[in-house]
Chain A
């Protein structure tokens, strides 16, 4: 049965209740509604659903402690920025004294920072060893693993061809990781059945943390090897013998400058 009146289609009805229709179309809809009982009921029902969704959607309030922390974050960050610009001349004397102290502290802090970093790396490597941990990409094909990172990392890198890997080294998969708050590609290899985690991070601007280059070479029986290109840093963690680990790191580094 055909109807004499053309009813409002769902898109128009939605746009009408969301106040998204241009004035000219709005008038047309209102004219239609004046003569169509069915569509008027649909508009009413849709408006009620919209109002109910709005109530139901406002559901998750931050717990008091989270609210306090987030508010404090907003208030603290401005002060931090403002402080940079509010140095008065009288502060220069204090600044000079602070510099002397800072320089002596830097040495201690660098050691401390790199210790924290190597602990973080080792933790992440140990997490990959757990049988319950499956990487987000499971593939031995570099043409599957590399594209997976597109849109997930703010940088790109190359993976060595399986022929360019050291003997008995295999790519197993990859995961997204964070090192010191920076996004990193975590490449998972095996060498003679030993698991190897290779972290790839960007080294640009302030995000290049010099502590990465000062890390201990081993920790808790695991070797930590470090390499860098102009744009990237590579950190490999494994309990395989250090010479094999070096070969793998070199292969990964070499892949960054093909030809």
Chain B
């Protein structure tokens, strides 16, 4: 029924079952089970797709392609594991092979060394408490300015409430990198929000 050969390798990697002895989520109607799991995530997937593509038409195409790929590979999904992390990973891999994704990935991103956690700036500064969060426009502008890899990790953590270990799975990076990116993202947001004192940039 599901032609696993037709799933591109990059998606297949994302879908490797954690347990080789996998079973169908619902033997009778896997697609109904898929719909039940995927439908509630539609707004989240779309929101995340838009953050990645910055374009409504592309976001819709991305979610559509994600659904198609995920459904084709649904027999490799392990019931009782994190469906949200699984489908977000497919979304991300699909994005990476799109034109916009390829263009984005050509921008060099300097990663903090994952082994060296950010221990500088450990003492609290008065500025820590000076940022203004009541100005949504300023926060939107600051989020827009974050480097995409930092923003992606932060959105998965704060907006999607995905755990660090699952973010690591979605982004295909070590958990230390996830922590470091979230830390850098928040530090950058603070820096961007400090001078504004609630004013729109």
| A62/B46 contact (C-beta < 8 A), A9-B122, A53-B158, A54-B158 known | yes
Chain B interface category by residue count: 35 or more
Interface: B110 (CB within 8 A): no
Complex-state Cα separation, A57 to B1, whole angstroms: 38
Which residues from B are CB-within-8-Å of A66?
46, 56, 59-60
Which residues from A are CB-within-8-Å of B46?
60-62, 66-67, 70
Which residues from B are CB-within-8-Å of A82?
29, 31-32
Q: Are A62 and B129 in contact (CB under 8 A)?
A: no
Which residues from A are CB-within-8-Å of B159?
53-54, 57-58
Q: Are B124 and A38 in contact (CB under 8 A)?
A: yes
Q: Are A45 and B5 in contact (CB under 8 A)?
A: no
Interface: B80 (CB within 8 A): no
Interface: A74 (CB within 8 A): yes
Inter-chain contact total with CB atoms closer than 8 Å: 169
Interface of A is mostly: helix
| A42/B128 contact (C-beta < 8 A), A53-B159, A57-B158, A81-B1 known | yes
Complex-state Cα separation, A69 to B67, whole angstroms: 12
Interface residues of A (CB under 8 A from B): 3, 7-11, 14-15, 18, 20, 38-39, 41-42, 44-46, 48-50, 52-63, 66-67, 69-71, 73-75, 77-78, 81-82, 84, 136, 151-152, 154-155, 176, 183, 204-207
Q: List 19 A-B contacts (CB under 8 A).
A: A9-B122, A10-B121, A11-B117, A45-B128, A49-B133, A56-B143, A62-B60, A70-B64, A73-B64, A73-B68, A74-B35, A74-B38, A74-B42, A74-B67, A77-B35, A78-B31, A204-B5, A205-B5, A206-B6
